[in-house]
């Protein structure tokens, strides 16, 4: 006789597991269908270039903070040396006042009228009284000097303390800028690592051709520099073609960042300019792009990058990490920001 028992229904737990498994499978399928495609070599390069630009901005801030730190350190040292000298002078004045007080005590411990009454030689007494008056006047003068010196010393100590506080803030900014630059560079390297070995080799070869295809010297051709100074700076910079780019506080002679190269070049020409793009643009005379002449400083990408105009629409500059000092068209460097003639 056939059984009429109803089939056993699946447990709730089993249904839940099956449902979850199915949902996960659907989700994975959906993710696979909508996953972002791997970026192409050109897309990676564009992102890396952007990160290099951001790293350079942070690096220029670092360079500015470093320059400010060095300046403040010298000022603090000078003030502290002055404070030490003032303190020594104050100690000397105090010793002098002590000697006067001792001499005064020995000369005039009794009321002058009483001294005159008991004195057997009035002339001798009057001589002593005159000497006592002189000591008193000298004591008053020494007290004035001490008080003045104490005020000066207090002001100098406050100035030193203010400079030390400012130095501490600059050092903090220095650390932040350095970290920001390193973070951007690490992100750029991570992106480059997503490329195949062949793609990385292709990018490196293209960059090497751009870096070393400019020749050993800059040929000015028919374009004359605006001044002998600008021409000398450009020729000095041209001797660095092929030298590697290096981030932060690199002013040569064998590696450079962008503003380090321009500062070094003008130093060789006999002129001192400041360290960063943010301060170099405020030196000399601002000029338009159409007025550019060889040796002028040209700024790009929101004033985060600088090079020397080399004529023919080209700029000699230190580009970015992994590249070398080279001459290339302004159109390939980035957006024109401004120019100055030193």
Q: Would the pLDDT of 284 be above 60? A: yes
Highest mean pLDDT among 28-37, 134-143, 181-190, 243-252: 181-190
Q: Would the pLDDT of 2 be above 60? A: no
Highest mean pLDDT among 25-29, 170-174, 179-183, 314-318: 314-318
Q: How far apart are CA 6 and CA 15, in angstroms?
A: 19
CATH 3.90.1720.10 maps onto the chain at 216-341
Q: Would the pLDDT of 129 be above 80? A: no
Mean pLDDT of 195-223: 67
Q: How many CB atoms lie within 10 A of CB 312?
A: 14
CATH second-level architecture of 41-192?
Orthogonal Bundle (1.10)
Highest mean pLDDT among 71-75, 87-91, 192-196, 260-264: 260-264
Over residues 290-313, the pLDDT tens digits come to: 999 999 999 999 898 999 999 999
Q: Is 315 left (phi over 0), alpha (psi -120 to 50) or beta?
A: beta
> Tokens representing 176?
């932040």
Confidence of residue 22 (pLDDT cuts 50, 70, 90): very low
Mean pLDDT of 258-281: 95
Catalytic residue among 4, 34, 267, 305: 305
pTM: 0.59
Question: For the chain, what is the largest distance between any 2 Cα atoms, rounded to a whole number of angstroms?
Answer: 161
* Residue spans of beta strands (DSSP E) within 214-319: 285-287, 297-300, 305-311, 314-317
The secondary structure of residue 306, as a DSSP letter, is: E
Residue 118 or 106, more confident:
106
> Tokens representing 206?
């293209």
Over residues 151-175, the pLDDT tens digits come to: 888 888 888 888 888 888 878 877 8
Q: Would the pLDDT of 33 be above 50? A: no
Confidence of residue 198 (pLDDT cuts 50, 70, 90): confident
Cis status, amide bond into 253, omega within 30 of 0: yes
Burial label for 58, CB within 10 Å (0-12, 13-18, 19+), is: buried
Q: Which helix (H) or strand (E) holds 326?
A: strand 326-329
Phi, psi of 147 (to 5 degrees): -65, -45
Highest mean pLDDT among 5-19, 174-188, 191-205, 220-234: 220-234
Q: Would the pLDDT of 262 be above 70? A: yes
CATH 1.10.287 maps onto the chain at 41-192
Q: Would the pLDDT of 282 be above 70? A: yes
Cα–Cα nearest to 209, from 300, 328, 47, 49: 328
Over residues 49-100, the pLDDT tens digits come to: 788 778 787 778 887 787 888 888 888 888 888 888 888 877 877 777 666 5
Residue 245 vs residues 26, 240, 340: alpha-carbon distances, Å: 50, 11, 23
Please indicate whether residue 258 is annotated as part of the active site: yes
Please indicate whether residue 4 is annotated as part of the active site: no
> Tokens representing 228?
């002998």
**Secondary structure of residue 324 in the 3-state scheme:** strand
Confidence of residue 128 (pLDDT cuts 50, 70, 90): low
What's the chain's average pLDDT? 77
Adjacent-strand bridge partners of 315: 309, 328
- Alpha helices (H) along the chain: 12-34, 41-107, 112-118, 122-192, 197-212, 228-238, 258-269, 277-280, 330-333
**216-341 CATH:** 3.90.1720.10
């Amino acid at each position: 006789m056939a059984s009429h028992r109803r089939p056993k229904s699946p447990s709730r737990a089993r249904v839940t597991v099956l449902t979850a498994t199915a949902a996960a499978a659907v989700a994975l399928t959906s993710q696979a269908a909508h996953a972002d495609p791997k970026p192409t070599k050109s897309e990676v390069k564009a992102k890396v270039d952007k990160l290099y630009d951001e790293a350079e901005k942070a690096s220029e801030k670092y360079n500015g903070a470093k320059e400010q730190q060095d300046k403040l350190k010298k000022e603090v040292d000078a003030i502290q040396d002055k404070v030490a000298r003032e303190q020594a002078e104050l100690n000397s004045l105090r010793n002098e006042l002590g000697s006067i007080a001792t001499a005064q005590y020995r000369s005039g411990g009794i009321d002058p009228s009483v001294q005159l009454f008991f004195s057997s030689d009035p002339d001798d007494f009057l001589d002593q009284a005159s000497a006592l008056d002189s000591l008193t006047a000298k004591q008053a003068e020494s007290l004035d000097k001490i008080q003045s010196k104490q005020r000066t010393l207090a002001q100098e100590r406050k100035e030193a303390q203010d400079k030390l506080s400012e130095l501490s803030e600059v050092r903090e900014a220095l650390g932040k800028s350095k970290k920001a630059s390193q973070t951007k560079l690490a992100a750029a390297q991570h992106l480059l690592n997503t490329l195949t070995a062949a793609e990385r080799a292709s990018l490196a070869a293209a960059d090497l051709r751009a870096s070393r295809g400019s020749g050993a010297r800059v040929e000015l051709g028919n374009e004359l520099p605006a001044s002998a100074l600008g021409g000398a700076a450009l020729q000095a910079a041209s001797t660095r073609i092929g030298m590697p780019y290096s981030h932060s506080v690199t002013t040569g002679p064998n590696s450079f960042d962008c503003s380090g190269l321009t500062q070094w070049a003008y130093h060789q020409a006999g002129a001192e300019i400041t360290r960063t793009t943010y301060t170099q643009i405020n030196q000399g005379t601002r000029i338009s792009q159409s007025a550019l002449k060889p040796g002028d400083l040209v700024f790009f990408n929101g004033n985060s990058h600088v090079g020397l105009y080399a004529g023919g629409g080209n700029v000699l500059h230190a580009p970015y990490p992994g590249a070398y000092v080279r001459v290339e068209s302004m159109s390939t460097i980035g957006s024109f920001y401004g120019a100055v003639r030193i």
